Amino acid sequence: MRITEIELKGFGKFQNKSITFAPGLNVIHGTNEAGKSTVHAFIRAMLFGLERTRGRVGKDDRYRKYLPWESGAAYGGSMDLELDGKRYRILRNFHQNQKSVSCICLDTGREVLLPTGQITDLIPTLTESLYRNTVSMEQQKARTDSELAGQVHNYITNIAAAGSGEVDVKLAVTTLQEKRKLAENALKDLEEKLQTVTRAIEDGRESEVRMERLLRRQQELLAVQSDLTRRLGELKGEITRRYGSSLEQLPAVQEKYRASQELLCQAEQYREKEQQLREAAAAAEKGKAECEKQGRSLEELSGLTAARREAENQKREILAKQREEEAAVQDDHKRRSAVIVGFGLIVTIACLLMKDIPGNYLGIYGGVLLALTGGMVYLVSEKKARKRKRPYEEDIEELEQQVLRCESRRHEILLDYNVLDERDLRAKYEAGLRRSAQGGQLAEQAEWYSGQRQQLEQRVKKNREEIAAYASRFLKKPGSEEGPGGEWNAEYMERLAKQVAECREENRRRLEACQEERAECELHLEKLKWELDRGKDNGERLAEQEERFRELTEQRGRKKEELAAIRLAISTIEDLSARIHDNFGGRFGQDVSEFVCRYTGGRHEKAYLDEKLNMRISSGRDFVPLESLSTGTIEQVYLALRLTAGARLIGREDIPILLDDSFAYYDDERLKTVLADLARGPAQVLLFTCQSREERMLRELGWEYRATEL
């Protein structure tokens, strides 16, 4: 098998990166973080796939570790390889939701099915575990794990036993160990079942004894139950004879008392109504005289009103006549005044015209005389007018005095009856008339209320007699003890209710005590019956458990024999396997020793391996554990172990060998020896390194190689 080319479409830091490999030695050089380990991991992922780790992310989760750095980029690639003269191309998509793998034969163009999706489908002996522990050495991981030890052990045993690789000793031992574990678990289950059955048998025997005790107890409780039933019947008879149904009649008695109180209240209302009606009837009789007096007063008021109106009418007539005469006098006075004033004006004008005549005093005297005459005329007229007016004023004053007397008398009458006007007095008079007319009806109504009141009192009396008959069973009659003398009141009824409640409570306590005792007895009987019913089949169950005990004992004996046989088989296989390993494992160890001797320059000639691949190395005449040697020597020994195991277990010498910075602890001489050994071998070698020492030594040794720079 040879890898010819790889293409990293998207893997870690690489995008669309192609690398070509030649047969023989290939040196892939790069500085730290150039991507050497990424290319190494890509080759492994193309051969065996790349699964995503479930659950919590860890340091060994290669799926997340090599996700493309560029978001959204493809996660996968392709690998071209040659195998048995044919060329193949493997294509993979590592994305979890788009995962795919295909293999194309480049010679025919046909797709080659890979059922497991791994190179194991083309090379059955090349498993991922063998690949990781033999031909693929990751950085600082030269040491192999426990899986390789089991595979080497199977290989040695198969070669010694059958000359082939078909027998899996580890699987046989593992299968027997699983059967041993199952047998031990089954034996443990049988022991537990035996313990359970033993306890059940002991419980069954104890149940038989307990059943006898329960039967005796049941007979005792039945006798007690019969006695309690008799006592309960006697107690109920005693209560019935003493109280009958009186205790249950208290609510009806209380209702009678409440009804009697309501009847008393109603009777009292009827009494008050009767008294009011009788008082109203008496008042109606008494009001007849008052009503007659009010009638007379109304007549007097009517007369006073008529007299006042007559006086007011006369006053208005006199005032009208007075105004007419005054108007006539004034008109006459005006005429006379006008004549005198006219004559005076004429005389005055004449005098003024004669004022130039000396000694003419006639005009002056005439004017003065005329003025005096006019004044006398006016005074005489005024005196006559007053004389005419005086009779009218006397009449008017008399009429006003008459009106005042009428009003004063009217006010006295209204004040006597405490009314405001004649209308109120008339209303009062009419009301008195109506009351006088209703006097007979009021008397009849008073008699009706009296009859109703007496009927209510008779009903109250009857109720009290019934209450007294009931209460006599519990209390003394009202008034026979300290308290309100002879009165049926709420306090007496409260004492009655309290006494009845106490009697009822006492009877209830006595009945409940007897009933609870009987119920407790019946409960015990029910429990006993349940336990007796449950234990009815105890004898049959006990026999079944004893039979089950015998069966389980026989099964336990057979299971112990089976377990002893399995343990003997495991011991025999392990003993034979150890003997075979001692006899035939030396061949495998001899091949490893040849590599060790060659790689260490003969300093260590022999390597001894046990069945777990623990090694001891010869150093002169001494044998030292591998862990006691230097780091460089330890890695050389593990390289020899890997190459030997790869050749033996895979069965092919042409599987490519991948070494990732595996020679950091090698000195120059040993490195030259290993490089020369690898260059001579038939397998393709991919050497990943960050140093130039390997290329320099290869050039010094004259070996051809292809160099690739990352």
Closest CA to 129 of 101, 152, 103: 152
Residue 392 parent element (H or E): helix 362-417
Token representation of residue 562: 């089976």
Under 8 Å between Cβ of 82 and 5: no
Tokens encoding 566: 């399995």
Residue from 656, 653, 702, 706 nearest 676 by CA: 702
Tokens at residue 690, please?
């960050």
- How far are the Cα atoms of 38, 63, 86, 116, 700 from residue 131, in angstroms, in the given order? 17, 19, 21, 16, 31
Could you give the CA distance from residue 600 to residue 639 in angstroms, rounded to a whole number?
12
Q: pLDDT (tens digit, 9 = 90+) per residue, 197-222?
A: 888 888 887 887 888 888 888 888 88
What mean pLDDT comes out for the span 671-682? 88
- Alpha carbon distance 32, 35 (integer Å): 8
- Cα 511 to its chain centre, rounded Å, is 49
Mean pLDDT of 187-196: 88
**What region, left, alpha or beta, does residue 448 occupy, with left being phi > 0 and alpha being psi -120 to 50 degrees?**
alpha
Q: Tell me the chain's radius of gyration from C-alpha atoms.
A: 75
Average of pLDDT values for 41-50? 94
List pLDDT tens digits, range 169-182.
Answer: 666 677 778 888 88
Q: Specify whether the CB–CB gap between 267 and 456 falls below 8 A.
A: yes
* Token pair listed for 304: 């006073």
Give me the mean pLDDT over the 251-276 stretch: 85
Q: Which span out of 42-46, 337-341, 342-346, 397-401 was modeled with the highest average pLDDT?
A: 42-46
User: Tokens 């030396």 correspond to what residue?
Assistant: 586
The separation between CA 194 and the C-alpha centre of its own chain, rounded to angstroms, equals 51
- Where does residue 49 fall: left (phi above 0), alpha (psi -120 to 50 degrees), or beta otherwise? left
Tokens 């996660």, located at residue? 75
Confidence (pLDDT) at 710: 86
Between these two residues, 49 and 574, which has the higher pLDDT value? Answer: 49
- Sheet bearing 111-112, strands edge to edge: 17-20, 2-10, 76-83, 86-93, 100-105, 111-112
Dihedral in degrees, nearest 10, Cα atoms 7, 11, 12, 14? 30
Question: Is the Cα torsion angle 415, 417, 420, 426 positive or negative in sign?
Answer: negative
| Cα–Cα nearest to 644, from 573, 593, 709, 586 | 593
Contacts of 303 (CB under 8 A, 6+ apart): none
Task: Tell me the pLDDT band of 483, cut-offs 50, 70 and 90.
Answer: very low
Higher pLDDT, 324 or 454: 454
Residue 434: burial class (beta carbons within 10 Å; 0-12, 13-18, 19+): exposed
Q: What is the pLDDT of residue 416?
A: 82
Q: Which residues pair with 709 in a beta bridge?
A: 29
User: Using one digit for the tens of pLDDT, what is the confidence trace for 218-262?
Assistant: 888 888 888 888 888 888 887 777 777 777 777 888 788 888 888
- Residue 374: which pLDDT band, with cuts at 50, 70 and 90? low
Share of the chain above pLDDT 70, in %: 78
Q: Please give the distance of CA 497 from its chain centroid, rounded to a whole number.
A: 51
Most confident of 161-175, 470-484, 582-596: 582-596
Does 440 have pLDDT greater than 90?
no
Query: What pLDDT score was predicted for residue 81?
Result: 95
Least confidently predicted of 197-206, 302-311, 382-391, 434-443: 382-391
Written as six digits, the tokens of 623 are 């044998």
Please give the helix or strand (H or E) that residue 182 lies within, else none. helix 169-243
Other beta carbons within 10 angstroms of residue 333's beta carbon come to 16
pLDDT tens-digit readout, 377-388: 566 666 665 666
Average pLDDT on 399-411 reads 82
Q: Is 574 left (phi over 0), alpha (psi -120 to 50) or beta?
A: alpha
Interior angle at CA 504, CA 498 and CA 509, nearest 5:
125
Query: pTM for the full model?
Result: 0.45
Query: Which tokens sit at 39?
Result: 């290319």
Q: What are the Cα distances from residue 530, in Å, to 516, 526, 535, 536, 543?
A: 20, 6, 8, 10, 22
pLDDT over 60 (residue 480): no
Out of 41-55, 266-280, 415-429, least confident range: 415-429
Please work out, in degrees rounded to the nearest 5, the angle formed at the alpha carbon of residue 329 by the alpha carbons of 327 and 330: 65
Mean pLDDT of 613-631: 71
For 113, the 3-state DSSP assignment is: coil
Three-class DSSP category at 7 = strand
* Cα separation, 409 vs 306, whole angstroms: 13
pLDDT of residue 383: 64
State how far the Cα of 136 lies from the Cα of 128, in Å rounded to an integer: 10
Q: What is the pLDDT of residue 5?
A: 95
Average the pLDDT over 252-273 and give the result. 85
Q: Position of tokens 């497991």?
A: 116
Average pLDDT over residues 625-629: 73
SS (H, E, C) 591-645: HHHHHHHHHCCCCCCCEEECCCCCEEEEECCEEEEHHHCCHHHHHHHHHHHHHHH
Query: What per-residue confidence (pLDDT) applies to 68?
Result: 92
Separation between Cα atoms, residue 312 and residue 396, nearest integer Å: 9
Beta carbons within 8 Å of 250's beta carbon, 6+ residues apart: 496, 497, 500
Rounded to the nearest integer, the mean pLDDT of the chain is: 79
| pLDDT value for 290 | 73
pLDDT band at 104 (very low <50, low <70, confident <90, very high): very high
Kindly report the number of other CB atoms within 10 A of residue 613's CB atom.
21
Stretch (H or E) spanning 82: strand 76-83
Please count the CA atoms within 13 angstroms of the CA of 76 that sit on its side-chain side. Answer: 16
- Residue 160 pLDDT greater than 50, yes or no: no
- Report the pLDDT value the prediction gives residue 166, as an integer from 0 to 100: 42
Q: Which strands sit side by side in the sheet containing 685-689, from one edge to the other?
A: 136-137, 657-660, 685-689, 25-29, 705-709
Phi, psi of 560 (to 5 degrees): -65, -40
Write the DSSP symbol of residue 649: I
Q: Say yes or no to pLDDT of 663 above 60.
A: yes
Token reading at 328: 């006539």
Q: How many helices (H) and strands (E) does the chain have?
A: 13, 14
Distance CA 696, CA 700 (A): 6
**Parallel, antiparallel, or unpaired: how do β-strands 685-689 and 615-619 relate?**
unpaired
Q: Give me the sign of the Cα torsion angle 59, 63, 67, 71.
A: negative
CB-based contact 37:139 (threshold 8 Å): yes
| Residue 320, pLDDT above cutoff 50 | yes
Confidence of residue 101 (pLDDT cuts 50, 70, 90): very high
Q: How many CB atoms lie within 10 A of CB 48?
A: 19
Mean pLDDT, residues 6-20 taken together: 94
Residue 237 CB burial class (10 angstroms; 0-12, 13-18, ≥19): exposed
Mean pLDDT calculated for residue range 319-331: 76
Statement: residue 21 has pLDDT above 90: yes
pLDDT tens for residues 552-611?
A: 888 888 888 888 888 877 777 666 566 555 554 556 667 677 777 777 777 777 776 665
Q: Which two tokens stand for residue 602?
A: 């003969």
pLDDT recorded at residue 167 = 45
Characterize the bridge pairing of strands 111-112 and 100-105. antiparallel
